[in-house]
Amino acid sequence: MAKESEDIEETTVEEPTKNGGRSCKPVTNAIWAEGSKAEVQAFYFNNFGRAVLFISVTFLSFAILELANKQAGCPKNDDGVYEDCGKRVYGAKPSSMLSLMAVLGGVITAMFMPYAGAIVDYTPYRRAFGIGCATVLVLANTVQIFLFESTWFVLAIIQAVFAAASFIANAMVMWSYVKDSAESDHALHGITTSGRLWETFGMFGFLILVTVVGVASGWDSVSLARFSQALAVALGGTFLWLAYSRYAPRPAQQEVPEGKGLYTAGMSSLYNTFTQLGKTAPGAKRFFMAVVFIDAATGSFTTLGVTYLKEQLELTDFQSQVFLILTLLCGIPGSIFHRTVGRRFGHKRGFLACLMYWIGTTVLFVLVLSGPGQKNLAYLFGVLFGIAYGWYFPAINGFFISLLPPGRDVEMWGWNQFASVILSWVPPLIFTGLNETVDDLRLGMVGLISFHVIGLIIAFTIDDSQTWDEEKVLSESDELSDEEVGESAPMEESALSKEEELVINEEVGKSTPMQESALTKEDELVMNEEVK
């Protein structure tokens, strides 16, 4: 414990210089930990590049909704926002376009995941596969620059199919290199912390920059989307190129079982891991069952929330952007709140409380914000959902790592990522079906609420009596809270958010199984936090 405290203090306390000033080493460690290594640099550049490409989809979504409404012939209100006119385009309502994209992208991604994982594990083509995925991701965003009324539908399909799957596959390759880049768990923590900051800077900086350009230029949604895609391709493509120019080839980690192809080998690996957990860590197995529903709902809120803001509340693009910025900023108090609740009530009860907060906030969101007359209240819910996201990610990671035997958190990352996307297409499908049949976006949000409720019920049944190393888990969970600053936007979480957090949890090292109610350990953790 003393050694761990010394390590933490070493990277977080400023060092005095000869002239009595303060050293900049802690800041450098936070942003550029282990930065002398080429593959660590690649990790930072990849995080920044993909974050920029990811957040640019926000502006693309606004443009797709505008073009769909325009082609359907719907009128605009006094604020220049299209009203729901009941007309259809390509057989669907304009308000269903984003959710249909989410359905298509979710199905393709869930089907592609086992194959991508098999390439990383069973072949020596990990780097080449990553280069291919990054190239497809950049090209899929490049064609969005040519977004017009005559091209938007085809481009929306390209974005849903190719960008979504390649984004997740690139993330899988990126994280597969992380463990090999660190000489110790402490070094791994520093690397992943810095990577989180690079990702945060990319998303938040891009969102602010494009919003300011939109206000200054007076461009409409489509023109601003073209600009955002051009900027995202230039920045994101450059940083992804910098990343893959630093990755080294890797040999296959294991051989393909006799009589199986890559896809069946990937599926078998997922199945065997899941069944084995029933014997070694049954709580973690039940956790994955809950995550299938919880992450599907949490990730889908991005797409469905944007549709609800634009179509149901008739917010302008700028008003919607302010909503997202508030959500980003309010992730900070959400992370702090997680720290307080987790320490007072434990990981399971803290996680359950987070889910209940999510459900309650979403129910109020739908009940209170019924139409354009309540649009000013939307900003309040931007704050509330920001707290929810800031609380959610460290809470779910802290609980997850507490359920695993020591040393298996990185191993379980692949299954956790698969669980987070396997049903990601179902809530958008429910939303689309209800929107198309009963013409009620408020009722369409029931898919999100119901999936969260199902996940909550399963989470209640998780047996956390066999947990591991509370000292490590609480420390990791708190570090995650610090790393989540500005990282809690709704965009985060569909595809990617949480898989990255799992690697961060490898940070402190191994110690003895925890004693859940030991007051002395709690006191030590609080003291360490104060030192930090």
Handedness of CA 511, 515, 516, 518 (dihedral sign): negative
Handedness of CA 454, 455, 459, 462 (dihedral sign): positive
Residue 492 pLDDT exceeds 50:
no
Q: What is the pLDDT of residue 343?
A: 78
Please identify which residue in the block is written with the tokens 């802690």.
26
Closest residue by Cα to residue 114 from 482, 448, 478, 415: 415
How much of the chain, in percent, has pLDDT values that exceed 70? 79
Q: What is the pLDDT of residue 461?
A: 92
DSSP state for residue 310 in the 8-state scheme:
I
Mean pLDDT of 393-410: 72
**469 vs 138, higher pLDDT:** 138
d(CA 503, CA 176): 10
Which residues, 6 or more positions from 428, have their beta carbon under 8 angstroms from its beta carbon? 99, 100, 102, 103, 106, 300, 303, 304, 447
pLDDT interval class at 23 (50, 70, 90): low
Q: What is the DSSP string of 369-423?
A: --SGGGGGGHHHHHHHHHHHHHHHHHHHHHHHHHHSPTT-TTTTHHHHHHHHHTT
Over residues 301-324, the pLDDT tens digits come to 888 988 999 888 989 889 999 998
Q: What is the pLDDT of residue 323?
A: 92
Over residues 510-532, the pLDDT tens digits come to 333 333 333 344 444 444 444 33
Mean pLDDT of 260-274: 87
d(CA 236, CA 244): 12
d(CA 506, CA 27): 22
Q: Pseudo-torsion of CA 354, 358, 364, 369, nearest 10°?
A: 140
The number of beta carbons lying within 10 Å of the beta carbon of residue 177 is: 22
The CATH architecture of the domain made up of 33-247+269-531 is Up-down Bundle (1.20)
Over residues 291-303, the pLDDT tens digits come to 999 999 998 888 8
Convert 425-492 into a string of H (helix), E (strand) and C (coil). CHHHHHHHHHHHHHCCHHHHCHHHHHHHHHHHHHHHCCCCCCCCCHHHHHHHHHHHHHHCCCCCCHHH
Residue 248 pLDDT exceeds 70:
yes
Mean pLDDT of 269-291: 86
**Which tokens in the block code for residue 387?**
């707290």
Is the CB of residue 484 less than 8 Å from the CB of residue 387?
Answer: no
Residue 503 pLDDT exceeds 60:
no
On the CB side of 57, how many CA atoms lie within 13 Å of its CA? 28
d(CA 387, CA 238): 33
**Which tokens in the block code for residue 164?**
């979504």
Residue 140 pLDDT exceeds 50:
yes
Lowest-confidence segment of 67-71, 162-166, 183-187 by average pLDDT: 183-187
Backbone dihedral angles phi then psi of residue 169, each to the nearest 5 degrees: -65, -40
Q: What is the pLDDT of residue 471?
A: 44
Of the ranges 324-333, 338-347, 349-358, 393-402, the best mean pLDDT one: 349-358
- Helix%, strand%, coil% for the chain, nearest 5: 75, 0, 25
Mean pLDDT of 215-235: 96
d(CA 502, CA 412): 8
Lowest-confidence segment of 26-30, 275-279, 474-478 by average pLDDT: 474-478
Which residues, 6 or more positions from 170, have their beta carbon under 8 angstroms from its beta carbon? 46, 50, 130, 133, 134, 137, 240
Query: For all residues of the chain together, what is the average pLDDT?
Result: 80
Helix axes 519-531, 2-12, angle to 10 degrees: 20
Mean pLDDT of 88-107: 93
Is the CB of residue 353 less than 8 Å from the CB of residue 345?
Answer: yes
Is the CB of residue 504 less than 8 Å from the CB of residue 33?
Answer: no
Q: What is the pLDDT of residue 411?
A: 60
d(CA 238, CA 203): 16
Residue 195 pLDDT exceeds 90:
no
358 to 108, 365, 450, 482: CA distances (angstroms)? 27, 10, 12, 21
pLDDT interval class at 22 (50, 70, 90): low
Is the CB of residue 515 less than 8 Å from the CB of residue 465?
Answer: no
Q: What is the pLDDT of residue 531?
A: 39
Over residues 416-473, the pLDDT tens digits come to 778 888 999 999 999 999 989 888 888 888 888 999 999 999 999 998 776 554 444 4
Mean pLDDT of 402-413: 66
d(CA 306, CA 159): 17
Over residues 381-390, the pLDDT tens digits come to 999 998 998 8
**196 vs 429, higher pLDDT:** 429
Q: What is the pLDDT of residue 27?
A: 61
How much of the chain, in percent, has pLDDT values that exceed 90? 42
